[in-house]
Amino acid sequence: MSLFDLPLSSKVDRVVPKNSFDDFASNKVKKLFTNQIQKILWKNKLSVETINLRGKEIDEIQIFDIELKEKVYISDILNSIDKSIPYHIIFTIRFNDDVYVSVSPKHLNPINGNSAVIDHTFKTEWFSSQEFNFKIDLKNNLDDVFYSFCSQFSPTIKNNKNLQEFITTNKELDRLNRDIQKIKQQMTQTKQFNKKVELNQKLNYLVNNLNLLTNSNS
């Protein structure tokens, strides 16, 4: 089953052996490949040869569909695959009728050109495949195709000029949300009034920064 509406010229539909990524996986992750993965399918390849689109920063985008044996998030496995392949990969991860989507912008390791360094990861929660509404918009160039896809993970952020700005904004949003949750947890555990006041001031400061960042990009 194909979740994206892509040209037949981009179709690969090739099963990838799970041990293909052993050089980039620890023994623990190798076991995860065996225990959690049913099948890895290389669905599509987006490149100048297959869809007649080039990119300044991105030469190819691969589409991988991963079928699981159990309903779990597989970030360690995806990281191993991403590090082993220099091209950007869009992952759809499926268990029965449920799916989640993950993509990680990355760059080549300056020390080891045979591996990639992940800059950030965008992923969804699990949802029904009937609700799948992610699109791959084949327009302009491959840089725009990839940025357009990543932007669907944070639809309220609209004013960034490029993928790197978008990543930076999302990292800051993630940091603020983590800090806010941490402060809220501390407030529930604190009984001292003065300490609660101090934490509340910190919370208001973080929430204000979060709102400013979100509003500036809306």
- What is the per-residue pLDDT for 116? 86
Q: Which of 191, 187, 189, 181 is nearest to 199 (CA)?
A: 187
What is the pLDDT averaged over residues 18-28?
Answer: 93
For residue 88, what pLDDT is reported?
Answer: 95
Q: Report d(CA 120, CA 184) in Å as an integer.
A: 26
Domain extent listing, the chain: 8-140, 168-216
Lowest mean pLDDT among 50-54, 100-104, 125-129, 213-217: 213-217
pLDDT for position 1: 62
- The predicted structure's pLDDT at residue 108: 83
CA distances in angstroms from 41 to 67, 179, 185, 217, listed in the order given: 8, 38, 42, 36
Report the alpha-carbon distance of residue 200 to residue 118 in Å, rounded.
Answer: 35
Task: Indicate the average pLDDT of the chain.
Answer: 91
What percentage of the chain reaches a pLDDT higher than 90? 74
If one counts every other C-beta atom within 10 angstroms of the C-beta of residue 44, the result is: 24
Contact 18, 33 (CB under 8 A): yes
More confident site: 201 or 216: 201
Three-class SS state of 65? strand
pLDDT over threshold 70, residue 113: no
- What pLDDT, on the 0 to 100 scale, is given for residue 111? 77
Q: What is the pLDDT of residues 154-178, one digit of tens each?
A: 877 777 778 888 888 888 988 999 9
In this structure, what DSSP letter does residue 16 have?
A: P
Percent of the chain with pLDDT over 70: 97
